[in-house]
Amino acid sequence: MNKLVPSELAERIEVARKALENCRLCPRNCGVDRRAGQQGYCRLNHSLCCFREMVVDYEETGLNPSHQIYLAGCNLRCEFCTVAEWNANTDLASIISMNELIGIVEQKHISGARNINLLGGEPSVSLAGVLELLEKIDPAIPVVWNSNMYYNEIVTELLDGLIDIFLADFKYGNNDCARLLSGTDDYLEVVKRNIQRSHGKDKMIIRHLIMPGHYTCCAEPVLTWIAENVPDAKVSLRRDYIPPAEPGFAPSDYQNPREIRKAEDLARSLDLRLIQ
Ligand code: SF4
């Protein structure tokens, strides 16, 4: 729930808008003036580009029915991304205006949606627009931050007290896999820092996508790190990896049941709080 007084949220919106003039919201540190229409790595200017919204019942236990709000633009380039076309073409993505979105959120909340679920792309690259949306909707609507957690500290600071549940992706257990599959060199330190910074203040569910052939390099170190650093976070092992159509570095197979069982067994042996 939004626990800020309106003037404090308004101040944060101004800070987030100002930050767009020399954008360093994430470790790409593009330094472009998004307010003037320039685009950085995430291909966004100042607009909030909502390209899809829907209420679903397949999120983790306790979140459903969840009103997903898909925002275009991303600061990672995951080879296996299922919405890559929207992130590549953010101009086409602005199909739901802010005013329409506000009305839709209110209406779906009245109809039974339990929360709004901000995802993408990556919601942090649309921070100013996200804060504007939160300012205009009923503050009693719980907010789920469904994020790759790859952003700079300014995002953590401006979100403080506004998020009810962090649905935090933790994909890779080392920077080599992150570099090959998502095009980033500093994934591990940034994501670990952000998970640790937000954990404890708010509820956190850490998602780890089990990828074929990535048990030793990714699943094992990720789960071990969670056990050692944020043991009370809930953990969701995702089994929905879809191989990309274009061959590259990402695995070309669907998940291997043996590797899924191994990851589940490890999580249990580490006493992690597994959820579905
Ligand atoms: S949010 Fe976008 S423009 Fe800003 S630093 Fe990150 S990738 Fe670059």
Q: How does pLDDT run across 116-128, given as a tens digit for each residue?
A: 999 988 999 999 9
Residue 94 has pLDDT above 90, yes or no: no
Q: pLDDT tier at 210 (50, 70, 90 boundaries)?
A: very high
From 76, 125, 155, the mutation candidate for ligand 1 (largest count of ligand atoms within 8 A of CB) is 125
Rounded to 5 degrees, what are φ and ψ at 53? -145, 145
Ligand 1 atom 1: the closest Cα is on which residue? 125
Q: Which pLDDT value is given to residue 95? A: 75
Considering only 31-40, 45-54, 145-154, 183-192, which range has the smallest mean pLDDT? 45-54
CA 162 to centroid of ligand 1, rounded, Å: 22
From 17, 21, 23, 29, the mutation candidate for ligand 1 (largest count of ligand atoms within 8 A of CB) is 23
Q: Which pLDDT value is given to residue 109? A: 97
Write out pLDDT tens, residues 98-148: 999 999 999 999 999 999 999 988 999 999 999 999 999 999 999 999 999
CA 44 to centroid of ligand 1, rounded, Å: 8
Residue 242 has pLDDT above 60, yes or no: yes
Q: For the chain, which residues make up each domain, given as ranges?
A: 6-275
pTM for the model stands at 0.95
CA 137 to centroid of ligand 1, rounded, Å: 26
Q: Which pLDDT value is given to residue 202? A: 59
Q: pLDDT tier at 246 (50, 70, 90 boundaries)?
A: confident
CA 124 to centroid of ligand 1, rounded, Å: 9
Which CATH number does the domain 6-275 belong to among 1.10.1060.10, 1.10.490.20, 3.40.50.300, 3.20.20.70?
Answer: 3.20.20.70
Ligand 1 pocket: which residues have CB below 6 Å?
23-26, 28-30, 32, 40-42, 75, 125
CA 74 to centroid of ligand 1, rounded, Å: 8
Ligand 1 atom 6: the closest Cα is on which residue? 26
CA 36 to centroid of ligand 1, rounded, Å: 14
Torsion angle in degrees (nearest 10) through CA of 189, 185, 180, 50: 80
Q: Which pLDDT value is given to residue 149? A: 98
